[in-house]
């Protein structure tokens, strides 16, 4: 039995170039639209977050610090400065306020009293849980009608954007 060799699919160079040009135009157009929409997204997010945080008497900066300490419980002030990108003096006053509110606590070890560690208090953890629950409820409402693949794609793209912006912050280059 004689079989014919399989034909290799080849694309003419002109079609490949046209396809690449179409992708480039599409990517450029998408980037343009995204650069126009991102400021609107950020403004809407901050307005909503501000409304949620005002009930807890917190600012966005304070929430970022509180959440960062929760993720790195027992971190030093220097580690917190590095994680948040604030100046040491700004962060010290921010942490001082959160301590006065009873949301954070400072600890030093007997072995090295110069190293101060920051932890969340029970009240701080409860506050974060309440804010996260409110945020989660809003996002669940938004995404419950979306297909799981769309949800996963949105999460990946959001994470990629955060990573991209973090690299820009680290190297002093922003959008």
Across 111-127, average pLDDT:
87
Average pLDDT of the residues of the chain:
82
Give 20's pLDDT tier (boundaries 50, 70, 90).
Answer: low
Residue among 117, 132, 128 nearest 73 (CA): 117
pLDDT of amino acid 16: 59
**72-91 residue pLDDT tens:** 888 988 899 888 888 999 99
pLDDT of amino acid 164: 84
Express as a percent the part of the chain with pLDDT over 90: 27
Express as a percent the part of the chain with pLDDT over 70: 79
Containing 70, the helix (H) or strand (E) segment is helix 60-71
Residue 44 has pLDDT above 60, yes or no: yes
pLDDT of amino acid 15: 61
**108-118 residue pLDDT tens:** 877 777 788 99
The more confidently predicted of residues 30 and 16 is 30
Give DSSP secondary structure letters for 93-160: HHHHHHHHTTSEEEEE-SS-TT-EEEEE-HHHHHHHHHHHHHHHHHHHHHHTTS-HHHHHHHHHHHHH
pLDDT of amino acid 4: 63
Tokens representing residue 66 in the block:
């509180």
Across 119-141, average pLDDT:
90
**148-158 residue pLDDT tens:** 999 999 999 98
Across 8-16, average pLDDT:
59
Q: Is 0.85 surpassed by the pTM of this model? A: no
Tokens representing residue 67 in the block:
């959440």
């Amino acid at each position: 039995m004689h079989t014919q060799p399989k034909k290799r699919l080849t694309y003419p160079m002109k079609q490949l170039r046209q396809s690449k040009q179409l992708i480039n135009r599409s990517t450029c157009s998408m980037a343009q639209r995204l650069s126009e929409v991102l400021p609107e997204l950020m403004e809407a997010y901050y307005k909503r977050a501000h409304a949620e945080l005002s009930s807890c008497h917190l600012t966005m900066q304070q929430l970022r610090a509180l959440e960062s300490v929760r993720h790195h419980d027992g971190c030093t002030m220097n580690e917190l400065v590095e994680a948040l990108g604030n100046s040491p003096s700004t962060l010290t006053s921010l942490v001082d306020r959160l301590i006065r509110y009873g949301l954070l606590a400072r600890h030093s070890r007997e072995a090295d009293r110069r190293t101060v560690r920051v932890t969340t208090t029970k009240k701080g953890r409860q506050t974060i849980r309440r804010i996260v629950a409110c945020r989660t409820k809003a996002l669940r409402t938004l995404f419950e009608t979306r297909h799981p693949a769309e949800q996963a794609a949105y999460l990946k793209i959001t994470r990629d954007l955060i990573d991209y912006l973090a690299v820009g912050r680290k190297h002093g280059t922003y959008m």
